[in-house]
Structure 1
Amino acid sequence: MFLWVLYPIPAHPTTQQRLDVFLLFASRGLASDMARGHQKFQSQQKNAKKQADIKKSKGHDQKAAAKAALVYTCTVCRTQMPDPKTFKQHFESKHPKSSMPPELVSVEA
């Protein structure tokens, strides 16, 4: 968009000339980004609240939580289990000929 100024602006304009140009731009709606600071801050807050509401409505991902809970890994077959009791039961039933790992010796099944 072009805006033709009716009088020439010198290389070093005075304060009054700058004010005249600003008022000319403001009257045509071209200086709207001058007052954008507070409006931008409000928009960012509104967007953050909206994103938080969307995240809250989705809930948490059960699949990811279940995967994070699998902390024990069988040394023979690399199967993952959530607790040592289950791990010992797995080891006794699936690998009866293998020697028991030292961390499972004291666990009661």
Structure 2
Amino acid sequence: MSLFDDRERAYEAKFAHDADLRFKAEARRNRLLGEWAAEILGKSGEEARSYAMTVVTSDFEEAGDEDVFRKLAGDLEGQVDAAAIRAKMAEMMTEARRQVFNEAN
């Protein structure tokens, strides 16, 4: 086993770990966004949890965040403007990363 092979394996392991944390943070952000939107829509309890899951699953439509944005913008039309949704998406990503990082350590 050469030093190069060891470094390559370490790099691959770090890449996989980082990708896993990124996926978890995005899913957490989407759940948090769903809970935020559910509150605005007047949902609570199981109905709010179910709605939050629809936001999480909306992220599987295409790569990137636009699918989640479209879901929220459509559901919150007339109640929250696009700029506020995008700001909340950024805020919730910061919070989700913090939560996932704290759970990983």
TM-score computed with the length of structure 2 as normaliser:
0.29
Greater C-alpha Rg: 1
As a proportion of its length, which structure holds more helix?
Answer: 2
TM-score computed with the length of structure 1 as normaliser:
0.29
Q: Which has the higher contact order (CA 8 A, sep 6+)?
A: 2
